[in-house]
Amino acid sequence: MTNSASAVNGRPTAAERIDSIFGSDVFSRTRMRQRLPKEVYRSLLCTIDRGEPLDPAVADVVAASMKDWAIENGATHYTHWFQPLTGLTAEKHDSLAAPDGAGGVVFNFSGSELVQGEPDASSFPSGGIRATFEARGYTAWDATSPAFLMRGENNVTLCIPTAFVSWTGEALDTKIPLLRSVEALSTQALRILKIFGTDKGVSRVHTTVGAEQEYFLVDRDLYFKRPDLLICERTLFGAKPPKGQQLEDHYFGTIPPRVLAFMAESEKELYCLGVPVKTRHNEVAPGQYEIAPLFEPSHIASDHQMIMMETLKRVAPRYGLQALLHEKPFAGVNGSGKHNNWSMSTDTGVNLLDPQDETHTNMQFLVFLCATIRAVDLHADLLRASIASAANDHRLGANEAPPAIISVFLGNMLSDILDQVEKGLPKRTIRGGTLDLGAKTLPQLPRHSGDRNRTSPFAFTGNKFEFRAVGSSASIAWPNTVLNTIVAESLDEIATQLERAVGARPTPARLQSGVIAVLKKVIKQHKRVIFDGDNYSEEWHSEAARRGLPNLKDSVEAFAVLKSRTNVELFRKYAVLGKSEYDSRTYIQIEKYVKQLAIEAETMVSVARGQILPASLEHQRRTAEAVAATRAAGVEAPETTRALQDLVALVDELRRRAAEVERLGAHHDADPIKHAAQISRELKPAMARLRAAGDALEGVVAADLWPLPNYRELLFLK
Ligand code: ADP
Ligand code: MG
């Protein structure tokens, strides 16, 4: 009798529940349409969708409506929410209430308060753009990213996504360059569409992003007992447990109930905030999980990514858990990344990287594909540098997915088509066919034309590229800014060549031969970056070297690339970043590396001296007493005596190594690049030696004396 999707036994179905909460804490389009006068709504859409300037009168009406909605939902404060160069988000709350002058309060929120804020810019990193006495900075409302409510235990705050800019007009955040890079890509992509005559009704091209987030969960009580986790989000000591990920039994395994409860609650909060999360599962390492959203326009995806990381952190403690977003919380098991799925789409919804059925005839797709390949080949070093950080060094180039050599995986079908283009007109598209499972009761599965490749850092996966080298704790804004900018440059170059080759309004035949001629050259020049094999293998490393592909093994090598003139020029040319804006980002990235390692070194020394050493000395005392007592009883104890000698030697080693880390960690160099180089050359190896001494002691000191929760306790969470 009831509607099919409606309540079951009087209880709402899951679909109804999700539908009723999805976006409930967002001042969404639907909400604006319902609450704003028609003309105001229409005028606002012109700003959001077409980038037209915002009418101040419109801003006043929107602000009043947004305030009413927020107050109805319990908000007392509002904040301009932005993403400074710390890589995190920032907020400064102001009350919506003000005294009315007659002993009561009024709730006010004007258009100008919505549109512009003025946080003190001097305490955010500016990488030299601003001296500390120059404090003025502005936040500007980004109407394209919906405002939302942030709910705390006893507080609700209206958050208004904004861009952050200095008084001089230079971008001080990660959002402005991202938006500018989309603009640059859009301009060039439209030229291509125009050549193909597919630009009708299209006013913009944007990039789409879906970022899969990997993370670890540990018990929060144990987390508080580990100063290294608490301060650095990674264990600086820790002997490997007998069982790590050897059995590969964690990946896609059954999700422990406590973890599942945490996931469900995080997802519920994310739904309320309009973040379209879709996938959850166990990852490869024990204690490691993943959450993935549906893709969205890149700047929204980037805002949502920040919200997602914050939500995981916020919800976990309710279940006695701590979410670790660090790239490498534990040695010896996999680290965490963020697979950045990326594509280009028209504002009419056409995915420009969708190959479709007869791919070999889809010239427009091949142009966008080849432009991306060209961009990655020309700027592999910059792409690599865009994801360089102290934390990501533990993954890239460190025997783990993915390697530091940036290459592109295409798969059989596309590799075959590019081979054909190189020789002339492509004639066929390889098909996957179907998979017969050999049991009549099972369905026939349509099969993809090629297998997947898990080892490639930049893989084509059906109708998008997946940039897998992004670190799990990183903001995705910068890597996407780089990706958009380098692809914009390639589209620019290819559009220019095509325009020259085929002229305006070419006939289909002319267009086809022109495209083939241009792509042939592009493929010849840039196919060296394409690699469909095993990226972990030794052979690939030597093969890549033969092909002349850069292999920037760690951050310090990557930082050098950032300094190059060509890169400064690239961002300037496409109006993404001016020189000082670019230089400041480079400086901050390197400085962050230096600071992080200094903190790690100091933490290590304090754990070694304050916790490991006393426990080890106590164990040494016990052992010495045991030897003495045994001897006193008239029995020789040669093994225990030797163990005591080894122990004393290890304790000495720990002291020596701690002193060494302390000394090398105190080094300073005014030039952050030189300082970073010293860290990579001297400090990091010393830290590895100190860790080895600590971990060896963990193996011998009595369990009841060991002061830190061990890997077994941390990783095998139930
Ligand atoms: P896997 O783990 O197999 O790589 P998932 O399904 O977990 O795949 O994640 C794929 C991600 O790619 C999702 O976030 C999805 O929304 C995103 N995605 C799909 N299509 C596009 C696209 N056109 N542009 C950007 N991202 C996309
Ligand atoms: Mg993936």
Angle at CA 58, nearest 5°, toward 56 and 62?
115
> What confidence tier does 569 reach under pLDDT thresholds 50, 70, 90?
very high
| Structure tokens given for 591 | 């400085």
**Is the CB of residue 167 less than 8 Å from the CB of residue 138?**
yes
Pocket test for ligand 1, best of 206, 280, 341, 458 (most atoms within 8 A of CB): 341
User: Closest Cα to residue 594, out of 676, 685, 473?
Assistant: 676
Mean pLDDT of 318-332: 96
User: Closest Cα to residue 291, out of 309, 317, 313?
Assistant: 309
User: Closest Cα to residue 171, out of 202, 131, 126?
Assistant: 126
> What confidence tier does 2 reach under pLDDT thresholds 50, 70, 90?
very low
**Is the CB of residue 132 less than 8 Å from the CB of residue 10?**
no
pLDDT of 378 strictly over 80: yes
Distance 452 CA to ligand 2 centre (A): 10
Distance 212 CA to ligand 2 centre (A): 6
Mean pLDDT of 21-48: 93
Residue 26 CA to residue 272 CA, distance in Å, equals 7
Q: List ligand 1's pocket residues with C-beta within 6 A.
A: 208-210, 212, 279, 292-295, 339, 341-343, 351, 463-464
pTM of the shown model: 0.93
User: Closest Cα to residue 180, out of 165, 192, 167, 202?
Assistant: 165
What's the full length of the chain, in residues?
Answer: 718
User: Closest Cα to residue 127, out of 156, 155, 166?
Assistant: 166
Pocket test for ligand 1, best of 205, 206, 207, 212 (most atoms within 8 A of CB): 212
pLDDT of the residue at 453: 75
Pocket test for ligand 1, best of 213, 295, 304 (most atoms within 8 A of CB): 295
Q: How many CB atoms lie within 10 A of CB 254?
A: 10
Alpha helix (H) ranges present in 473-564? 477-502, 508-526, 538-547, 555-562
Which residues, including other chains, have CB under 8 Å from residue 227's CB and lie 6 or more apart? 603, 606, 607, 611
Residue 433 CA to residue 435 CA, distance in Å, equals 7
Q: Which atom of ligand 1 is nearest to the CA of 461?
A: 4
pLDDT tens readout for residues 58-75: 999 999 999 999 999 999
Share of the chain above pLDDT 70, in %: 94
Q: Which atom of ligand 1 is nearest to the CA of 452?
A: 3
Angle at CA 217, nearest 5°, toward 214 and 221?
160
| Structure tokens given for 216 | 């670890």
Residue 74's identity, in one-letter code, is G
Could you say which ligand is closest to the alpha carbon of residue 470? 2
Mean pLDDT of 155-167: 93
Distance 670 CA to ligand 1 centre (A): 43
pLDDT of the residue at 618: 98
Mean pLDDT of 401-413: 89
Residue 223 CA to residue 237 CA, distance in Å, equals 13
More confident residue, 662 or 448: 662
> What confidence tier does 12 reach under pLDDT thresholds 50, 70, 90?
confident
Mean pLDDT of 430-450: 72
User: Closest Cα to residue 700, out of 643, 656, 649?
Assistant: 643
Phi-psi bin for 349: left (phi > 0), alpha (psi -120 to 50), beta? left
Residue 418 CA to residue 531 CA, distance in Å, equals 13
**Is the CB of residue 682 less than 8 Å from the CB of residue 689?**
no
Distance 339 CA to ligand 1 centre (A): 9
**Is the CB of residue 451 less than 8 Å from the CB of residue 458?**
no
Q: Which helix (H) or strand (E) holds 584?
A: helix 579-607
Residue 620's identity, in one-letter code, is Q
pLDDT of the residue at 4: 46
For residue 32, what are the CA distances in angstroms to 196, 274, 563?
A: 37, 14, 45
Q: Which atom of ligand 1 is nearest to the CA of 290?
A: 7
pLDDT of 672 strictly over 60: yes
pLDDT of the residue at 1: 38
Mean pLDDT of 42-46: 93
Residue 402 preceded by cis peptide, ω within 30: yes
pLDDT of 3 strictly over 50: no
> Which of 47-51, 325-329, 587-591 comes out lowest in average pLDDT?
47-51
Mean pLDDT of 332-344: 94
**Is the CB of residue 174 less than 8 Å from the CB of residue 83?**
yes
Closest residue (by CA) to atom 1 of ligand 1? 212
| Structure tokens given for 599 | 């903190």
Distance 483 CA to ligand 1 centre (A): 17
Distance 482 CA to ligand 1 centre (A): 20
User: Closest Cα to residue 167, out of 203, 191, 131?
Assistant: 131
pLDDT of the residue at 167: 82
Counts of helices then strands in the chain (DSSP H, E): 24, 19
Write out the residues surrounding ion ligand 2, Cβ under 5 A. 339
Burial class (CB in 10 A: 0-12, 13-18, 19+), 638: exposed
Average pLDDT, the chain: 91
pLDDT tens readout for residues 479-533: 999 999 999 999 999 999 999 999 878 899 999 999 999 999 999 999 999 999 9
Q: In DSSP terms, which residues pair with 148 in a beta bridge?
A: 26, 159
pLDDT tens readout for residues 600-639: 999 999 999 999 999 999 999 999 999 999 999 999 888 8
pLDDT of 437 strictly over 80: no
DSSP letter, residue 121: G
Q: In DSSP terms, which residues pair with 471 in a beta bridge?
A: 337
